[in-house]
Amino acid sequence: SRSSEASENKVRTLQELSDIIYERGEVMPLRMDDNYLLRFLRARSFKVESAYRLLVNYYTFRENNPEFYDVNPLDLSFIGDADAVSVMPYREQTGRRILIYKLGKWNPSEYAADELFKATLAILELGILEPRAQVLGGRVIWDLEGLAMAHYWQISPATVQKVIEIMVTSFPMKVHSIHIVNESWVFD
| Statement: residue 165 has pLDDT above 80 | yes
What does the pLDDT read at residue 148?
A: 86
CA dihedral over 40, 41, 44, 48, signed as positive or negative: positive
∠ CA 170-103-68 to the nearest 5 degrees?
35
d(C-alpha 37, C-alpha 172), whole Å: 10
Are 85 and 145 contained in the same domain? yes
Tell me what the pLDDT averaged over the chain comes to. 91
Are 78 and 60 contained in the same domain? no
Quote the number of domains for the chain: 2
Q: Which of 13-27, 38-52, 97-111, 147-161 has the lowest mean pLDDT?
A: 147-161
Q: How confident is the model at residue 61 (pLDDT cuts 50, 70, 90)?
A: very high
| Statement: residue 53 has pLDDT above 70 | yes
| Statement: residue 183 has pLDDT above 90 | no
Are 58 and 108 contained in the same domain? no
Are 95 and 132 contained in the same domain? yes
Are 174 and 99 contained in the same domain? yes
Specify the CATH number for the domain of residue 105: 3.40.525.10
| Statement: residue 1 has pLDDT above 70 | no
Are 8 and 100 contained in the same domain? no
- For 91-134, the pLDDT digits (tens) are 999 999 999 999 999 999 999 899 999 999 999 999 999 999 99
Are 133 and 173 contained in the same domain? yes
Domain with 83 in it:
73-187
